[in-house]
Structure 1
Amino acid sequence: MFQINELVVYPAQGVGRIERIDSQEIGGVRADYYIVRILSNSVTLMVPVKNARNVGLRHVCSLRSGQEVFESLRDRSDFTGYTGQNWNRRYREYSEKLKSVNLADVAYVLKELFLIGMDKELSFGERRLLEQAMTLVTMELAYSLGRDQADVKADINEMFADVIMKQQEKLQKTK
């Protein structure tokens, strides 16, 4: 399914590289494992080859999919505004989406949190989820689109510049 040196995505961890495929005996059972090094933090994961699809290991999205996700971030027509939904419920929902095998789900969390920030100050947990979503989205888009991650992040921040400015104005008023 995956080859050595191939770039892959592990949900909630981000883009990694298959370093090798090892055969190991664990608990008396011999199995093959992908050894994946996550590029953003050098964490090494052992993913059972037989279970790779079930845990969500997948190829980096295609150029076309990357472009579609990037454009979906610009589209605010699906945002209905901050509804005052219970933070715990939203946190669980967003945490699950960050583990999704679909980059569009992760991008959805990023966009929602940016836009919710227009109506209210994000809590510490929300800001942490926003940062995690930003890292996951920008890293995969960078590889998908053949761009530098910092440039992708700058473009996304530019898309939401009005939101960021509004948040900064609110912070200045509270000081």
Structure 2
Amino acid sequence: MFQKDELVVYPAQGVGVVERIEEQEIGGAKAEFYIVRILSNNVTLMVPVLNAENVGLRHVCSKEKAESIIDSLKDRSDFTGYSGQNWNRRYREYSENLKSGDLADVAYVLKELLLIGKDKELSFGEHRLLEQAMGLLTLELAHALDKEQDEVRAQIEELFSDVLEPQKEE
């Protein structure tokens, strides 16, 4: 399914490169593993080839999908506003979305937290989730769009400039 030197995405970890495919014996049984190095933190993962799809290992999204994700960030019609929902419930929901491996779920978490941050100061945990979502999203979009990660981050920050910059008094 994946080849050596191919870029892949591992849920909640982000973009990595398949460094090699090797066979190892574990518990008396031989199995093939993808050895994936995550680009953002140099962590190396061993992913069983036969279980790769089940754990959510996938290709980097297409350029069209990346552009669609950016368009979804522009659309705020689905944001209902900070409802005072229990933080623990929101945290669990957002964490599950980040672990899903679905780029649209990651974009949803980023958008929600950026917009909630307009109404109230984000807690430490919320800020950490926001940074995780931003990192996962910008790195994959950068590879899909053949841009630098900082450039994609700046593009997203520009989309949310009204909530990221302090409102000026006139």
TM bucket by the smaller chain? over 0.9
The within-5 A match list for 1:71-90 is 71-90=71-90
* Matching residue of 1:135: 135
**How many pairs were matched up?**
169
Do the aligned residues in 2 keep the contact of 1:117 with 1:167 (CA within 8 Å)?
no
In the TM superposition, what whole-angstrom CA distance separates every residue of 1:22-62 from its partner, at most 9, and x where no partner exists?
Answer: 10011222100000000111110000000000000000000
The residue type paired with residue 132 of structure 1 is Q
1:48-103 Cα deviation digits (max 9, x unpaired): 00000000000000010000001111111110100110000000000000011210
Compare 159-168 and 145-154 and name the one that shifted more. 159-168
- The code of the aligned residue for 1:97 comes to N
> In structure 1, the residue corresponding to 2:25 is in which secondary structure?
strand
Separation of aligned partners in 2, 1:101 and 1:125: 20
- In the TM superposition, structure 1's runs of 4+ consecutive aligned residues that sit over 2 Å from their partners are 166-169
- What is the Cα deviation at residue 161 of structure 1? 1.0
Encode CA deviations 1:99-125: one digit per residue, 9 max, x unaligned: 112100000000000000111110000
* 3-state SS of paired residue (1:138): helix
Q: Report SS of the residue matched to 1:73.
A: helix
Shift of 1:168: 10
- For 1:107 and 1:126, locate their aligned partners in 2 and report how far apart those are by CA, in whole Å: 15
Which shows bigger deviation, 158-167 or 97-106? Answer: 158-167
Contact 1:121 1:167 in 2 (8 A): no
How large is the Cα RMSD of the aligned pairs?
1.4
Amino acid in the other structure paired with 1:155: Q
Alignment correspondent of 1:43 = 43
1:107-148 CA-to-partner distances (Å, cap 9, x unmatched) read 000000000011111000000000000000000000011111
* TM value normalised by structure 1: 0.94
Aligned sequence identity (%): 71
Gaps of 5+ in 1: 170-175
